[in-house]
Amino acid sequence: MHLDLNSRGAVGDGLAADALEVVTGEIRRPFVDLIERLSTGRETDLDWWVTPLASRNTYACPLYLRLCQLVLTRHLMQAGRVTKITTDSPALAGIIAESAVRDVRISVAGGAGRAGLSRRLGVIHRYAGALYHVVCQIFVAGLILPKRMTMPIGPIVLVDTFIYADSFVSGKFRDHHYPGMTDHLDAAERTQVFFVPSYYRIRNYVRFFLGLRGMRDNFLLKEDVLNVSDYLFALGHPFRLRWPKGRIDFLGVDVGALIRETLSESFAGSGAVEGLLRYRFAQRLKDKGISLQRIIEWFENQEIDHGANAGWRTFFPDTPVIGYQGFLASRHYLCVFPTTQEMFLRLIPNRIAVMGQGLVEAVREFCPELAVNTAPSFRFEAVRRERINEPDANWFTILISLPILPEDCRIILELAIQAADHIQKGKLWRFQVKAHPTWGRSALVQMVRKFSTEFEVVEGAFEALLDRSNALITAASSTCAHAIARGVPVAIVGQRNGLVQNPIPVFADTSLWTVCYSGTDLRQTLSRYANTNPSEITHRRNLGEKFRERTFEPVTRESVRHFLGFEDTGSSVSRTPAAS
């Protein structure tokens, strides 16, 4: 068997893909132990903690995947099932060669020299991108000032959120992360809530800041309080970082070269710079005498979160910091599972808030002492609404929900078109494509047209589209759980050579979802979903209701006020000019 471990390759065959999934579970704890050992002696080194490697951000750093591939290849070589291995990692190729027990051909795609050059250019590209965004934010935010710059005295509630190019529609703020939250507050309470935005995929900063500055909602921008030394501090991160040296053991194998290689593939990016800026942002708010009643962090425990939480916990030690996980993520997205080490070092919030009681224990996997409670499931309030739409009986409608990352979108569309090409002629099947909110329509249409002119690009409320669909195709998206809660079965696209990004909790009934590694898998799964009778559809919806109750807390005035810490407060916020 030829084992192709490249980013666009296939791991070999279906059995090997299943074996890789087993390996990911076997090394979860050893991997966390490895990161904790690497971090020993760096407890106060914030430059280390804002790297994707130290954050265990498996989307940004390939170390976890490469270690899984290493363990898998050792298993397969010992079983005599591998004759050739191709990888895009020179370090991984070298480690595999040292442990090869049989005559196996091992090669680096494109050559080791090309891979090394690609890593160096990647560092330059990431740092240049980070520098570009910082410079644009500084100058454009400074040029486009609010009508009257004011700073709150407090006490206020800070809510961390992400802002996208489409977050401002017709002069109104469209919050993708806490939709409808402020609607449950009275006028006095709304004056106490300030959004602290992070900007995602913004290109036209002039138009963006014109929209942001024009909002009536309370926004507290880091650009309004940081100074030049703060930006220089953040941009100096790559030059201060201390690299791991020497032999580093993992399951009896020296993986030091692999760790240094993967660190070089992921550091010096915008996440690290933003994390350090958020640390200094907390310091500057403290310097200005801002009083904080509560801090709500959108918590994925990435690089930016480490920096922000270190700042809040250092400069506002008496203010409760709540890490809100208003999403569902794959178990392979390891950063969302905090560790005991991170808790002791005060790199994470005081408490984590999840969307449902069924999610509480999972987040404690690597930190049993972690304080966890439930909070309103803002983005999923629609799962509790009465169904007003039904699928068109004349069609078997398949909704493709594209996630945030372009590479995941490509893989989903490739498998979908493979499945569509082999659908039995005469069956009235149709595929509709719904984009992640970060995708503009023109970019989406252009991408979809590369794969198929028959796929229909659709817009509108996701729950309405979902209720008119018979099945959902996606990966790495919380829309999987949204679909299950509405009784719509899901086909999750998995990569044979990578981590299966399945965000569905383990307690969800397996009849509601299937992982598909190929176009054939996907076609067979969709055919099975299509060949169901009305009683099976009713059964799925009943299972969905049970899943909903364990996963999604309702959004009420009482639950929102509790989340924001308003139970014992009643005074409104006062403000003072920022220049004071």
Tokens 């407090």 found at? 154
Q: For residue 238, what are its two tokens? A: 């790559």
pLDDT bracket for residue 580 (50, 70, 90): very low
Give residue 18's pLDDT.
75
Residue 168, SS3?
strand
CA–CA distance, 399 with 466 (Å, rounded to integer) = 7
The answer to whether the CB of 480 falls within 8 A of the CB of 474 is yes
Give residue 504's pLDDT.
93
Domain 130-243+267-381+557-574 is found in CATH 3.40.50.2000:
yes
Give 384-551's CATH code, choosing from 3.90.25.10, 3.30.70.260, 3.30.70.980, 3.40.50.2000: 3.40.50.2000
Q: Which amino acid is at 432?
A: Q
Tokens 């480490």 found at? 306
Give the other-Cβ count within 10 Å of 139's Cβ. Answer: 14
Give residue 109's pLDDT.
85
CA–CA distance, 224 with 316 (Å, rounded to integer) = 19
CA–CA distance, 498 with 4 (Å, rounded to integer) = 11
To the nearest 10°, report the CA torsion of 101, 103, 104, 107: 110
Give residue 568's pLDDT.
53
Strand 249-250, strand 105-108: pairing: unpaired
To the nearest 10°, report the CA torsion of 266, 269, 273, 276: -10
Backbone torsions φ then ψ of 84, nearest 5 degrees? -150, 140
Tell me, rounded to whole angstroms, the distance of Cα 519 from its chain centroid.
26
Rounded average pLDDT over 240-268: 96
User: Worst-scoring range by mean pLDDT, 52-61, 137-146, 479-488, 504-513?
Assistant: 137-146
Q: Which amino acid is at 504?
A: I
Give residue 572's pLDDT.
42
Give residue 15's pLDDT.
54
CA angle 520, 524, 530 (to 5 degrees): 145
Q: CA separation (Å) from 311 to 304, 314, 316, 349?
A: 11, 5, 8, 11
Give start-end residues of each CATH 3.40.50.2000 domain in the chain: 130-243+267-381+557-574, 384-551
pLDDT bracket for residue 462 (50, 70, 90): confident
More confident position, 418 or 553: 553
Backbone torsions φ then ψ of 493, nearest 5 degrees? -80, 125
The answer to whether the CB of 110 falls within 8 A of the CB of 90 is no
How confident is the model over 463-481, as pLDDT tens digits? 889 999 999 999 878 889 9
For residue 255, the 8-state DSSP code is -
Give residue 328's pLDDT.
93
To the nearest 10°, report the CA torsion of 133, 136, 138, 141: -120
Q: For residue 288, what are its two tokens? A: 């200005």
Model pTM score: 0.90
How confident is the model over 157-184, as pLDDT tens digits? 999 999 988 888 777 888 989 999 999 9
Handedness of CA 142, 200, 321, 178 (dihedral sign): positive
How confident is the model over 125-148, as pLDDT tens digits? 999 999 999 999 999 988 887 655
The answer to whether the CB of 349 falls within 8 A of the CB of 316 is no
Backbone torsions φ then ψ of 468, nearest 5 degrees? -95, 10
Give residue 168's pLDDT.
86
For residue 121, the 8-state DSSP code is H
To the nearest 10°, report the CA torsion of 456, 459, 462, 464: -80
Q: For residue 358, what are its two tokens? A: 């069924």
pLDDT bracket for residue 120 (50, 70, 90): very high
How confident is the model over 303-350, as pLDDT tens digits? 999 999 999 999 999 999 999 999 999 999 999 999 999 999 999 999
Give residue 157's pLDDT.
96
Q: Percentage helix, strand, coil, to 5, in the chain?
A: 45, 15, 40
Beta strands in 334-458 (DSSP E): 351-354, 372-374, 396-401, 429-434, 456-457
pLDDT exceeds 90 at position 42: yes
β-bridge partners, 196 = 160
